Amino acid sequence: MNKLSLIALACASLLPACSLMPTYERPNAPVAAQWPGMATAADHKKESNQTNKDLGWKDFFSDPTVRELIDTALANNRDLRVSVLNIEQARAQLGIRRADQYPTVNATVTGSRTPNNDGSIKSAYAGGLTVTAYELDFFGRVASLKEQALAQYLATQEGSKTAHISLMATVAQSWLSLLADEELLSASRQTLASREASLNLVSLRLQHGAASELDLRLAQTLRESARATLAQQQRQRALDENALTLLLGQALPASAQAKLANAQLGALRFADLPAGLPSELLARRPDIRQAEQQLIASHANIGAARAAFFPRISLTVGAGSASGELAGLFKDGSWGWTLAPQLVLPIFDAGRNQANLDSAKVTRDIAVAQYEKAIQSAFREVSDALAGRDTLAQQLQASQALLDAETARSNLTKLRFDKGAASQLDWLDAQRSLFAAQQALIQTRLASLQNQVVLYKVLGGGFLAEPSPDTVAQTTGAAR
C-alpha cells in the first residue's frame, strides 16, 4: 500500500463516526398535574412556591441522636457499601468502553531459530510497536456502546443515591419504633403494677366477704393480660433494636442507649415538607432519574445493534526493526512497517443481527414502561404520604383527647369505687380502657412521625441543592 492510502486511512480514523442511535425524547409523565386533595389552584401554587428553599437531611432530622445514628449507618452499613462499590464497577466498565474508541499500542519483540537442510541455524528477530485490530468506528457501534456504559454508570450513581435516602429514612423510622417501644413498655409496667395492686386488694376484700370470686377472676384476667402484653412488647423491643443494629452495622451507641431511657416520642419534631408539583419528582427522585438513564442506555444499545448491519473496518499496523542477528535488531537499515486493513461485511447470519436489533427495541420499550411505572409509583407514594399527613394529624388530636377523657373517667371511677358508689367491674373496665387509650396514643404518634419520614423519603430525600448546569456538564464531559 502506498503512502497516499496510508494517509487516507489515518484521516478516516479521525473523522467523527455517524451515530445510528435513535433520538432520545423523554416520555410524558403519565400522572395528574397536581396531587389528590388539593382543591384549589391557590393551595397548589402555595405548595409549589414553598419548594424553592433547600432543605438537606440534617435540616430535616434536627434531633442530634437521629443525626448520630444516620452518620453511623452511612459509614458502616454493608448494603450501602455494596451500592458504592457498584458505582466503582460501573465506572470501570465505562473506562473499558472509552478505551475501545482508541487504538491499543503494544511493544513486541519476537525471535525464532530454525534449522536449515544443511544443518545450519537460521535466526530471525523482530521488534517494534503494533496496533492490532483497531476498529474504525465509521457507523458509531463503539461510540454507542460507550454511551450505553455511560448511561449505566449514571444509573448506578442514582441507584446509590436511592440507597442513601432509603437507609436514612429506615434508620430514623427504626429509632422512632424503639422510642415507641420504650414508652409502651413503661405504660405496660405501670399498668401491670396497678393491676397487681388491684388483684391484691380484691383478694383481701374476698377474704373479708366484701368481694365475690367473679371480681377476683376479673382482676386476675386483667393482670395476666397486662403480663402478656408486656412480654410481647419486650420481644418487639428486642427485635426492633436488632433491626437497627443491622442498619447501623454495629451495636447501638452508648449515647443512644442512654437517650432511650429518658426520650419522649412526642418531643421529636421534623421540618415541614411541602409537596410541590408532581413534575418536580422527575428532578428530585433518584430512582426516577435511574430509570431514565436506563432508558437512555437502551437507546444507545439500539444504535449498536443497527451498526452491526454495516461493514466493520479494522486496522492492524506495525512498525519496527527486523534482523537475522539479535545484536543488529535496531541498527540502521533494518527498520520497516506493515499495514493490514480488514473489512467485514455481514451477508448471511441467519437473522442474528435482525434478532439483536429487535431485542434492543423491545428492551427500549420495556425501559419506557419501567420509567413510566417509576413515575406512577412515585406519584402514588407521595399521594399516600400526603393523605397520611392530613389524616394522622386529626387522628393524633382525637387520640390525645380520648386519653384525657379516659384518664378523667378512671380517676372519677376510682373515687366512686372507694366510696362504694361504683362496682369492681366499673373500676376494672375503666383501667382497661385507660391502658388501651395510652397504647393507641403512642401508636398514633409513632405512625404520624414515621409518615413524616416517609414523606421525606418519597419526595426524594428532602430538598437538596441541585448541582448547577455547568457542574453537570463538566461531570458528564469528564465521564465521556
Residue 402 pLDDT grade (very low, low, confident, very high; cuts 50, 70, 90): very high
Q: Name the H helices within 268-324.
A: 281-284, 286-307
* Residue 406 belongs to some domain of the structure: yes
DSSP 63-125: -HHHHHHHHHHHHH-HHHHHHHHHHHHHHHHHHHHHHTTSPPEEEEEEEEEEE-TTS-EEEEE
Q: How far apart are CA 85 and CA 112, in angstroms?
A: 46
CB contact at 8 A, 188 and 229:
yes
Number of H helices, E strands in the chain: 13, 4
Q: Domain count of the chain? A: 1
pLDDT of res. 160: 92
Q: What percent of the chain has pLDDT over 90?
A: 43
pLDDT of res. 189: 92
pLDDT of res. 17: 54
In this structure, what C-alpha cell is assigned to residue 297?
Answer: 442506555
Strand order from edge to edge, sheet including 312-323? 105-115, 121-136, 312-323, 335-344
Q: Enumerate residues 6+ apart whose C-beta is below 8 A from 74.
A: 80, 164, 167, 168
* Residue 2 belongs to some domain of the structure: no
Is 80 exceeded by the pLDDT of residue 247? yes
pLDDT of res. 29: 85
* Residue 5 belongs to some domain of the structure: no
* Residue 171 belongs to some domain of the structure: yes
> Which of 7-16, 340-349, 452-461 is the least confident region?
7-16
CB contact at 8 A, 408 and 477:
no
pLDDT of res. 51: 47
> Tell me, what CATH number does 382's domain have?
1.20.1600.10
What separation, in Å, do the N-terminal and C-terminal C-alpha atoms of the chain show?
35
Is 50 exceeded by the pLDDT of residue 218? yes
Q: Name the H helices within 249-351.
A: 254-262, 281-284, 286-307
Is 80 exceeded by the pLDDT of residue 117? no
Q: Which long-range contacts (CB under 8 A, 24 or more apart) does 190-197 make?
A: 191/226, 191/229, 191/431, 191/435, 191/438, 192/223, 192/226, 192/227, 192/230, 194/431, 195/219, 195/222, 195/223, 195/226, 195/431, 196/223
CB contact at 8 A, 350 and 357:
no
- DSSP classification of residue 276: -
* Residue 206 belongs to some domain of the structure: yes
More confident residue, 447 or 4: 447
Residue 305 pLDDT grade (very low, low, confident, very high; cuts 50, 70, 90): very high
Question: Residue 90 corresponds to which amino acid?
Answer: A
Q: How far apart are CA 410 and CA 432, in angstroms?
A: 9
The per-residue pLDDT of the chain, averaged, comes to 83
Report CA torsion sign: 92, 93, 95, 99.
Answer: positive
* Residue 130 belongs to some domain of the structure: no
pLDDT of res. 3: 44
- DSSP classification of residue 462: S
> Which of 21-30, 307-316, 422-431 is the least confident region?
422-431
Is 50 exceeded by the pLDDT of residue 236? yes
pLDDT digits (tens, 9 = 90+) for 461-479: 865 444 333 433 443 444 4
Q: Enumerate residues 6+ apart whose C-beta is below 8 A from 188.
A: 226, 229, 230, 233, 435
pLDDT of res. 313: 87
Q: Residue 253, Cβ neighbours under 10 Å: how many? A: 14
Q: How far apart are CA 408 and CA 6, in angstroms?
A: 99
For 440-450, what is the mean pLDDT? 94
For 338-364, what is the mean pLDDT? 89
Residue 319 pLDDT grade (very low, low, confident, very high; cuts 50, 70, 90): confident
pLDDT of res. 149: 94
pLDDT digits (tens, 9 = 90+) for 253-280: 988 888 887 778 888 888 888 777 787 7
Q: Of 273, 281, 77, which Cα lies nearest the Cα of 174?
A: 77
Is 60 exceeded by the pLDDT of residue 10? no
* Residue 117 belongs to some domain of the structure: no
Structural domain containing residue 242? 20-101+138-309+353-479
* Residue 321 belongs to some domain of the structure: no
Residue 47 pLDDT grade (very low, low, confident, very high; cuts 50, 70, 90): low
For 225-239, what is the mean pLDDT? 94
For 130-139, what is the mean pLDDT? 86
For 146-165, what is the mean pLDDT? 93
